């Protein structure tokens, strides 16, 4: 009986592990601000974050002082709801069931250094707490996943806003492309890219994220 108990605990821990995918350069104005061009990448720019990057349930974000300038990137986030591999784009809508607002925190100075050296982005994108996540809202609450407006407020002022209609690669395209390289599993999450308006966060900042008029994300920086 004891062996069975520990077997269940181990398997529950295993099942709780999810993958965090993120898309870079998926909004034209953001590309222009950071890269000086509005052009669409030839393929979706995908990177991953460690599971320890996940920040949810209103827990505070502790700004890592050894990483230099930390910037917010508010994004629409999609939750995967079933197992899938090499998913056809026309069936991709069956593989997610909820959306929210998340923040892809970025160590901008480190990112600039890594890009100049031609190195991967994980260190500047996947550190602890770098994937803030709001409360999930079922997809069927919205008319069209590609027509969802979202925004981020800091200390009561709107600092970033966007609409999923402006994505260069749409959600179904991203799902299909990502599943060519990774098996998608229930509970995996996908950050779909950020619009223009990124900026730094500071100690004592109060962040609030909205899907349309619904607040789904709220926490403090420390």
Over the stretch 77-105, which tens digit does the pLDDT of each residue have?
999 999 999 999 999 999 999 999 999 99
The enclosing H or E element of 212 equals none
Give the mean model confidence (pLDDT) for residues 11-17: 47
User: Residue 177 pLDDT more than 90?
Assistant: yes
The enclosing H or E element of 30 equals helix 28-35
d(CA 135, CA 25): 25
d(CA 150, CA 127): 24
pLDDT of residue 121: 82
pLDDT of residue 30: 76
Radius of gyration of the chain (CA): 17
CA distances from 199 to 20, 136, 149, 154, 186 (A): 22, 25, 19, 10, 32
Token pair for 160: 């970033």
Token pair for 116: 């100049």
Name the phi and psi angles at 134, rounded to 5: -90, -170
Work out whether strand 20-24 and strand 189-191 pair parallel, antiparallel, or are unpaired: parallel
Picking from 198, 161, 173, 181, the residue whose alpha carbon sits closest to that of residue 78 is 173
Give the mean model confidence (pLDDT) for residues 159-178: 97
- Is the CB of residue 47 less than 8 Å from the CB of residue 24? yes
Give the mean model confidence (pLDDT) for residues 18-36: 84
Q: Determine whether domain 20-221 maps to CATH 3.90.850.10.
A: yes
Say what the pTM is.
0.90
d(CA 68, CA 115): 16
d(CA 218, CA 133): 9
Average pLDDT, the chain: 91
- Is the CB of residue 122 less than 8 Å from the CB of residue 48? yes
- Is the CB of residue 183 less than 8 Å from the CB of residue 12? no
CB neighbours of 42 closer than 8 A, spacing ≥ 6?
Answer: none
pLDDT band at 3 (very low <50, low <70, confident <90, very high): very low
The enclosing H or E element of 139 equals none
User: Residue 188 pLDDT more than 70?
Assistant: yes
User: Residue 63 pLDDT more than 60?
Assistant: yes
Sheet holding 106-107, edge to edge: 106-107, 70-72, 199-200
Greater model confidence, 31 or 64 = 64
């Amino acid at each position: 009986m004891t062996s069975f108990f520990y077997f269940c605990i181990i398997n529950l821990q295993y099942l709780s592990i999810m993958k965090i995918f993120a898309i870079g350069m998926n909004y034209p104005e953001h590309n222009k601000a950071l890269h000086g061009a509005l052009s669409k990448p030839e393929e979706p720019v995908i990177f991953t974050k460690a599971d320890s990057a996940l920040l949810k349930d209103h827990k505070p974000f502790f700004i890592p002082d050894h990483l230099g300038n930390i910037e917010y990137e508010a994004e629409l986030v999609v939750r995967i709801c079933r197992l899938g591999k090499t998913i056809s784009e026309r069936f991709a809508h069956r593989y997610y069931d909820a959306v929210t607002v998340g923040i892809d925190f970025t160590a901008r100075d480190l990112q600039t250094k890594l890009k100049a050296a031609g190195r991967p982005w994980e260190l500047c994108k996947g550190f602890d707490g770098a994937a803030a996540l709001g409360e999930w809202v079922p997809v069927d609450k919205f008319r069209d996943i590609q027509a969802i407006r979202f925004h981020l407020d800091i200390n009561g002022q709107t600092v970033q806003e966007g609409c999923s209609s402006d994505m260069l690669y749409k959600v179904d395209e991203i799902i299909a492309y990502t599943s060519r390289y990774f098996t998608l599993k229930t509970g995996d999450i996908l950050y779909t890219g950020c619009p223009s308006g990124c900026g730094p966060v500071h100690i004592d900042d109060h962040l609030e994220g909205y899907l349309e008029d619904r607040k789904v994300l709220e926490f403090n920086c420390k």
